[in-house]
Amino acid sequence: MTLRLDDIHVSFGNVRAVAGVSLTLGAGDRMGIIGPNGSGKSTLINAISGIVRATGAIAVDGHRLRSGSARTAARRGVGRTYQTPQTFTKLTLIENVMLGVPTAERRGGTGSAWWRPRERRRTAEALDVLVTVGLDDLAEQPAAILTYGQQQRLALARALATRPRVLLLDEPAAGLNSAETQALGETLRAVNAGGVALLLVEHKMDFVSALCPRVAVLAGGRLVADGPPGDVLSRPDVIDAYLGVPHA
């Protein structure tokens, strides 16, 4: 899997949210994107996942994604989570996850003989994903009972159920305590080791530095740095961009 962004721009009226971002992400990569509030991080994820329209080229394995088409992005293996976890509180965890598991193509009614084994397979796949995020014990419970940290895990499970090849995460550690953050890091490493590339927007520097061998910095919609976290986070211009104050 290769995700390639070439000169991506997104504007909302006069606001240039993303202003000429180019980057390439490979199959085994874990890349962090940091930057101050309003620097375009969520908008970049929205552009890649087809939630907002963008100019420039976004391609997965050389296949150009249609701007603003979430369906095209999903079909090419782009999965994502949102800054606020998206879960259905009245549904059980397994039902939440099954909404993401690709449905078997319709060849008969839901009562026909072929359907049942496939439904069982979908259920088994959904349960596997709940095991991955450590929520399988709660599979039959309604999502309403979950803590915030568990909701984040369920949202991750829902994204994994789409079998992404590249997973875009929008501040996955926000609102998590340190034990939950640590556990999330371990889960994401395991997901990545299974061949899923990670592009992770995050505020928690320690978390990003520990998880991502490569970190990019967005400021005012532009990438101002891209490299190993130790190098990037010590650059004076990055510190300026991040803190929004002149470097002494």
Residues found near ligand ADP in the complex (CB under 6 A): 12, 15, 17, 35, 37-43
Task: Please identify, using beta-carbon distances, which residue of 44 and 184 lies nearer to ligand ADP.
Answer: 44
Task: Please identify, using beta-carbon distances, which residue of 60 and 201 lies nearer to Mg ion.
Answer: 201
Do residues 103 and 191 lie in contact, with contact meaning Cβ atoms separated by under 8 Å?
no
Task: Please identify, using beta-carbon distances, which residue of 100 and 221 lies nearer to ligand ADP.
Answer: 221
Q: Which one of 17, 25, 39, 42 is in contact with Mg ion (CB under 5 A)? A: 42
Task: Please identify, using beta-carbon distances, which residue of 43 and 132 lies nearer to ligand ADP.
Answer: 43
SS (H, E, C) the chain: CEEEEEEEEEEECCEEEEEEEEEEEECCCEEEEECCCCCCHHHHHHHHCCCCCCEEEEEECCEECCCCCHHHHHHCCEEECCCCCCCCCCCEHHHHHHCCCCCCCCCCCCCCCCHHHHHHHHHHHHHHHHHHCCCHHHCCCEHHHCCHHHHHHHHHHHHHCCCCCEEEEECCCCCCCHHHHHHHHHHHHHHHHCCCEEEEECCCHHHHHHHCCEEEEEECCEEEEEECHHHHCCCHHHHHHHHCCCCC
Instruction: Choose from ligand ADP, Mg ion, none: what does 197 bind? Cβ within 5-8 Å by kind.
Output: none
Instruction: Choose from Mg ion, ligand ADP, none: what does 181 bind? Cβ within 5-8 Å by kind.
Output: none
Instruction: Choose from Mg ion, ligand ADP, none: what does 12 bind? Cβ within 5-8 Å by kind.
Output: ligand ADP
Instruction: Choose from ligand ADP, Mg ion, none: what does 50 bind? Cβ within 5-8 Å by kind.
Output: none
Residue nearest to Mg ion (CB): 42
Q: Is 46 in the site for Mg ion (CB under 5 A)?
A: no
Binding region for Mg ion (CB under 5 A) out of 39-47, 92-100, 127-135, 142-150: 39-47
Task: Please identify, using beta-carbon distances, which residue of 40 and 185 lies nearer to Mg ion.
Answer: 40
Question: Rule CB under 5 A: which residues touch Mg ion?
Answer: 41-42
